[in-house]
Amino acid sequence: MATITLKGNPVNTVAELPENGTAAPSFTLVNKDLSESNLADYAGKTVVLNIFPSLDTPVCAASVRRFNLEASSIPGAVVLCVSADLPFAHKRFCEVEGIENVVSLSVFRSPEFGQDYGVTMADGPLKGILSRAVVIIDPEGKVIYAEQVPEITQEPDYEEALKAMV
């Protein structure tokens, strides 16, 4: 379990993020068009998991916009933006914001994602949805970077995440 904060108040997650060098847990999540996507679909690519509570918050939206601009320009990389938002919300957000360079995915059919990656919040007002984290998986399926953002209202460390990709 990791302890993070929401506006300074402690919140616990169900577990820790996967450690660097370990195999990334497999998953199957739902795309904006309701089709399913799994980790194996991105074999041979560097996968950035931009994990967050909801697109309907300013910090979450900012992280999607930032990764849409920066990480998606790295050759051989794909950015997966993962939240508990329904696929319809992901689609609306991406259309309104002109987001085209990331894959937007929902965990609504796959609560095990949050368990396996240790990002489901176990208590607090956002209990049951995902914390803010970035996990980068190399082309062989190993975790090479993991950041559990310590304060939910804080953006991830983009520079460190981008450095881990190159």
Q: Does the active-site annotation cover 60?
A: yes
The residue with tokens 């085209």 is 100
Q: How far is CA 68 from CA 8, 15, 30, 77, 80, in A?
A: 29, 28, 19, 12, 10
Handedness of CA 132, 116, 127, 16 (dihedral sign): negative
Catalytic residue among 17, 60, 84, 130: 60
The dihedral over CA atoms of 108, 54, 44, 135, expressed in degrees to the nearest 10, equals -110
Active site residues: 60
